Structure 1
């Protein structure tokens, strides 16, 4: 997670973590939000039921044959329409099921498409009922869904991606045309594998019908060619619907905008209330957006990825004004169909989020060192003490300075070193990193630089945590430097902390720390031991166990951190967004580039 290269994780709290503090949300606003949520859930489940009934009616042979025969007879359509009708019904049902996800996010465009689909299904079911005496149950269900959608139209307010309609329309043209041309070429290049010599217009008709999975007029001598053209055509047709639906229904993903005025207002809040949360200063990241409470006394910073508005840490500012900022943030999420989520909030912050209806999980601990009680003496600190002494004898020296003491040349050199040491690795960090080095905008930050024979070999950067604390932002070292260099730099920082007016230092964040610790205890049960083993296995790719071990060397005070989210079903999407934000993957860049094109 930012300064710790880890993921998220594990213990469920019941009804929030039970923190204390005057966080009082508006009861009327909460009741209204719950009422609206209940109405939306009812519509979503109605859409799913209608989709399921439509699938059953389309797939099971007896109802399908009766329905298709009556429809062809009433409209005077050719027999091929039977299969086409089945395919279209299935597509409509699957589309309605997918639209339910958009309805759950209150997306206006999903509501409009669901109105169209349910209206068509209602008409079709009524015709079936008039001609065969069957289908009235399905007609009643689709009509009920249509009425419910109309009645709750004011609940679906989420705005779509501004360019989604254009991209969706282009996809609906481009992919079917590409599939049509490809099937036509396959037919034209294999005349010997066709019965007779069908004219070009029959080839074209067959290629067009293949897009919806219907057999055309062309007859084949080679069965594999029939299967191939059908598979290619239907694949392009289904892909067109799915990709166009993605663009039509996707939530906006605006570029982060943290204006100069926003930064000034955030800094003012941090100057007054920045000592409450060690992660508060990271609200100043350039890739975040901020929303303020109506009074301007608090704010929530966030970034939108994969349809998730990902906040981090506690709201900035006076905690008595947090409910106002949280309501504004949730209002933004509703307006754009985003899933609200919070990474790394404190117990007090988790309480505030739980009181507005979000679920809360404890997913790790922050290592905090108290300057007054920190010492390298004693058996427990022998490893740190020996590492520091060994590197000091090897000639390493460490300087601890405020960032405003550096000149421009030093800043440039340190940025160059940090970039070179990182190499080709992705810049990691979101909730606990600034992603900038020795910047003039952070004058009260602290830089710890290790040197050997006049050459810079490692650096730590800390950001302010109120007026008397520091929070670790960046940890880099020359890959060729000796082990123990980070331990030496932290030890020297703690030695110089009192002179800097620092009383507390926040180190790396250790995800799943409690689970790892429980799995190592004597008498731990099989579940706890198995979970700890899985975490150590995952540590081959992510620094889970190693960060816990590193932090634990300093005998810190462990402070729990939480993740807040609307529902368990949203966790996979939130995980993808968190991984992408923290630099651990998420959506593959190649897929994103393809979808943008």
Structure 2
């Protein structure tokens, strides 16, 4: 894939690390596909009689006739399990490797005991040998709460299925043949979980089918959900310790001017890894098995490679997918050179030069008219550092913003601080407040960008305000007050895919560019892609490209889901998130 960023010549250590990662990914990819093929052939050998080749009848071992059916269910479960384990093997999870080895051994034994195909047996044997030879490549740690969660879910599903089938057998005795004993009903309910008929006989065929389907459904669900919780990647509870926060502030004090997104590393739902020297760091959050970093690494540019190496090592240790949202071109170049990753242009950041900004001129006519109109409506503004705002006023603003949002939901991750009007934590942040008739109608919060810059954090207003132009007024007032605040540059909203929208509007644009721009405009109905671009363009900013850094193209869908969830635009279903939090 074309990255849009040309990496400098890598160092020897970077080349060796890149080769080791490439070798590990290649091994994991081969083993992953082998597991999928082995699992699929195993299932097909049961479902397709033409593919079966009996090795030894089960009766040769003195087993009852039901053993064939039980063996079929066991083999099918193991085949499906191998296909499920493929995802964990691709992430080089140690537990997935252990379970895959156990599944291969059981499958080979089942093929010998039962009547199953020769080809899957050979494939599974080859997979087992490959797993044993490459065991050192599977080192990713498991989820610390995975075993308990997996056991709890399996027990809950099995008990639920057992109770459901038993209850049906107890409440509808008229549909049963004879008066089966309680022991018969208990045995039948238990055997139904593995798809085996029990001792109870039915007078109605549909009732027999119903109990069998319900029992087997709960049994399969127990295996699937248990496997998911056993193999899922670690998703630690997001929290930034006070010690880490203090170290980040020290790095920002010395190198904060380098990146407008640097201050957002102080979000309380992020974790951080530091370089061995402590002079650089990467802040990130784990969402859906993806370790999302944002912006450039913090600290000294010369120490960035050490922080990147530590971050990637942490991702490998826990089987996370590494990704970086919104890094600069310089940051992307280092990620490519040191991490062997790839980059994709994500959009542009709007940066306004305070010295050259003016509301005068034809290009500013739209903003000037909007500001004049809203001022005539009686709006007034104040621009202050948080340290200069009384504590009671800050508390009132926090309550007001929470009420405007309508709940705890918040949008923003890469360019959002996750808190507003916190004078103790962010005394140097700037608050811009618009009032009308003594009531607060709009709020902007900017966080420090070094000592001479500001980066937009929050832009929110009273949803009942009918007048357009309030946000333009707030930004214009902030830019006008920057000289008094000692600020020479201001970063506004991030415009996703701005260049694509711009290319699609040019005369002579090709059909692909026009189609892509049209799709982005359609998506803007839900995600304000074009709206933010148009709004930012009104202030005549310089457009600074920002990039998405990723490891492999196949990871992009997963990264997209994680990014949408982190930014507050969707992601995993809320019911699944509640289940994950409970476990």
Which of the five TM-score ranges fits, normalised by the shorter chain? over 0.9
Q: Is 1:288 aligned to residue 270 of structure 2?
A: yes
Describe the shift of the 1:478–1:171 C-alpha distance in structure 2 as closer, same or farther (beyond 3 A): closer
Describe the shift of the 1:286–1:384 C-alpha distance in structure 2 as closer, same or farther (beyond 3 A): same
> Please, what is the CA RMSD of the aligned residues?
2.3
Runs of 5+ unmatched residues, structure 2: none
2:449 corresponds to which residue? 465
Q: Which has the higher contact order (CA 8 A, sep 6+)?
A: 1
The 5 A counterparts of 1:114-513 are 114-126=100-112, 137-355=119-337, 356-424=339-407, 426-439=409-422, 440-481=424-465, 482-513=467-498
Q: Tell which deviates more after alignment, 241-250 or 147-156.
A: 147-156
The Cα of 1:95 is off from its aligned counterpart by 0.5
**Are the counterparts in 2 of residues 47 and 100 from structure 1 also a CA contact under 8 Å?**
yes
The Cα of 1:167 is off from its aligned counterpart by 2.1
**Are the counterparts in 1 of residues 143 and 230 from structure 2 also a CA contact under 8 Å?**
yes
Structure 1's consecutive aligned runs of 4 or more residues displaced over 4 angstroms after TM superposition are 19-25, 134-137
The Cα of 1:369 is off from its aligned counterpart by 1.0
After superposition, give the CA deviation of every residue in 1:169-212 in whole Å (9 maximum; x if it has no partner). Answer: 22222211221121122123223323344333333333222212
**Are the counterparts in 1 of residues 59 and 65 from structure 2 also a CA contact under 8 Å?**
no
Q: Secondary structure at the match of 1:55?
A: helix
The Cα of 1:241 is off from its aligned counterpart by 0.6
The Cα of 1:259 is off from its aligned counterpart by 2.0
TM-score (norm 2): 0.93
Distance 1:135 1:220 in 2: 34
Describe the shift of the 1:20–1:392 C-alpha distance in structure 2 as closer, same or farther (beyond 3 A): farther
Q: Secondary structure at the match of 1:275?
A: helix
**Are the counterparts in 1 of residues 239 and 271 from structure 2 also a CA contact under 8 Å?**
yes
Q: Secondary structure at the match of 1:91?
A: helix
1:536 corresponds to which residue? 521
1:560 corresponds to which residue? 545
**Are the counterparts in 1 of residues 157 and 218 from structure 2 also a CA contact under 8 Å?**
yes
The Cα of 1:308 is off from its aligned counterpart by 1.4
**Are the counterparts in 1 of residues 354 and 489 from structure 2 also a CA contact under 8 Å?**
yes
Describe the shift of the 1:18–1:313 C-alpha distance in structure 2 as closer, same or farther (beyond 3 A): same
Q: Secondary structure at the match of 1:398?
A: strand
Distance 1:524 1:430 in 2: 33
The Cα of 1:268 is off from its aligned counterpart by 1.5
The Cα of 1:149 is off from its aligned counterpart by 1.8
After superposition, give the CA deviation of every residue in 1:482-521 in whole Å (9 maximum; x if it has no partner). Answer: 2101101111111222222222111011112222223333
Describe the shift of the 1:62–1:26 C-alpha distance in structure 2 as closer, same or farther (beyond 3 A): closer
1:9 corresponds to which residue? none
TM-score (norm 1): 0.91
Distance 1:24 1:441 in 2: 42
1:96 corresponds to which residue? 82
Runs of 5+ unmatched residues, structure 1: 1-11
The Cα of 1:24 is off from its aligned counterpart by 8.1
After superposition, give the CA deviation of every residue in 1:258-316 in whole Å (9 maximum; x if it has no partner). Answer: 22221221111112211121101100111111100011111000111221111111111
Match for 1:59 among 33, 38, 47?
A: 47
Describe the shift of the 1:289–1:209 C-alpha distance in structure 2 as closer, same or farther (beyond 3 A): same
Match for 1:43 among 28, 31, 50?
A: 31
Distance 2:415 2:12 in 1: 28
